Amino acid sequence: MKKKILIVEDDRFLRELIAKKIKEQGYDVSEAGDGESGLKLIKETKLDLILLDLILPGIDGFQVLKNIKQDPETADIPVIILSNLGQKEDIDKGMDLGAEDFLIKAHFTPGEIIEKIKITLD
Amino acid sequence: MTQKTNDQEILAVSKIISIFTDGILFFDQSNKLVLMNKEAEKILNISKKDVIRKKIIELIGTPYLENIVGALLSGRKKRWEEEMEINEKIINVSFVKNNGTLIVLHDITKEKMVEQMKNEFVSIVAHQLRTPISSIKWTLKMFLEESFGRTTKEQKKYLKKIYTVNEKMVELINDLLNIAKIEEGRYVYKPVSTNLGRLIDSTIEQFKEKAEAKNIKISFNNLEKNAKVVVDPEKIKLVLQNLIDNAIKYNHEEGKVMIALKKEEDNLLVSVKDTGMGIPTNQQKRIFTKFFRAANVMKTDAEGSGLGLYINKELIEAHGGKIWFESVEKKGSSFYFSLPLQKNKNKIK
């Protein structure tokens, strides 16, 4: 069965690009444009990995991550933060909350992001 | 001088300084507070009659004034300045010793606020720019990887060029974010014991490709393999990246970059030498100022932001180190920085 990846990203263009790239690699993709609908999908679907942006309308990514890790049903799903924040405090906060990795969008190509996903899923 | 003329003199000066917009205090040679204007009363939130003619020692314990008296007692120089937070305001306090001590209190709260707003603005803009720049980066890369169908050789050539330009923007944004943080003074330091040689090794590794593209050889003469410094390794790595990047960027094809690490008294000394275009003598003074780029560099290389060396100076000095250089135009430049060596652990305890 194909592994399923959720992308939580409010910028539609970026979301489309990375979704296309991930689909090319043979994964199933779900998409959410804000934290609230992201959390809803996380509860309803069985996911193998979550790509999470931090600055989101409404509930922000840090809060989404906190909720995922607090719920025993979802706590084991690996979360990779994909954000344009990237100061030391942000990275420390994300990693402390239980993220697998912290990728700054402007510093990684789609191919490099796929690499990180593969390493995490293996 | 009789007491009377002295009093008259003080009265005359008091009249003049009463209209000054800065706070003024004057201690005479016997360390007695003999002059104080209205503005000083306002800034320090005290009334003149409670403190005038008192000796420094007697003023210890007076709120706000105490900070100034403390600085005055510990000051050894002829003149110096300090920034102090007094009564919820930020005051630049300058001390001048000359037959007594003149103290000038200048309120810089507003300037500090504007500076903070500017930094926040730069920080927000830079963060906001990262999103569209990421879309451009990702799209170009996917074109190059033919996610959107085949691209011809010529198309690829130009796509690669745009990609490089876009990467420059990513770097520029990183520089701006770093500077905003440095100037806000909230650059987080987590100093840890760091092997400087190993940090240099890993930084050189990052520049392998870039150096090879210009046939430049990077050598590293490490004379202190075990020496450690207590630093924020990410920040020192940034300093090294800036220096090595410059040494490659402003070098000739088949040039050399020679890095060395050695001990000098209680410091570790790093040198990064290149065989590049050098810095013209008449421009050397300004090399560490923000946005400054030397004239010869401007002619040959349109890239670069003029921020790297400014960032370096701020970072090294924040670590208690020094940074300097020697350069001969058309021959090359040597940049040096020193950092205090980590003392033996037993000694610290």
Q: Which residues of chain B carry a pLDDT beneath 50?
A: 346-349
Residue type (1 letter), B248: I
Instruction: Tell which of B128, B138, B162, B174 to mutate to test the A interface (max A CBs under 10 Å).
Output: B138
| pLDDT at res. B126 | 86
With an 8 Å Cβ cutoff, are A105 and B147 in contact?
no
- With a CB cutoff of 8 Å and minimum separation 6, the contacts of A5 are A22, A27, A28, A29, A30, A47, A48, A49, A50, A51, A117
What domains can you pick out in chain A, each with its CATH number? 4-121 (3.40.50.2300)
| pLDDT at res. B301 | 63
CB pairs under 8 A between A and B: 52
Which residues in chain A are contacts of B130 at CB distance < 8 A? 84, 104-106
What domains can you pick out in chain B, each with its CATH number? 3-107 (3.30.450.20), 111-184 (1.10.287), 192-348 (3.30.565.10)
| pLDDT at res. B196 | 95
Indicate yes or no: pTM above 0.90. no
- With a CB cutoff of 8 Å and minimum separation 6, the contacts of B26 are B33, B34, B35, B36, B100, B101, B102, B103
As a whole number of Å, the end-to-end CA separation of chain A is 15
Number of H helices, E strands in chain A: 5, 5
| pLDDT at res. B5 | 64
Q: Specify the residue for token string 């690996």.
A: A78
Q: Which residues of chain A carry a pLDDT beneath 50?
A: none
Residue B134 is nearest to which of A85, A88, A106, comparing CB atoms? A106
Q: How far apart are CA B12 and CA B19, in angstroms?
A: 12
With an 8 Å Cβ cutoff, are A107 and B170 in contact?
yes
Q: Is the dihedral of CA B218, B221, B225, B229 positive or negative?
A: negative
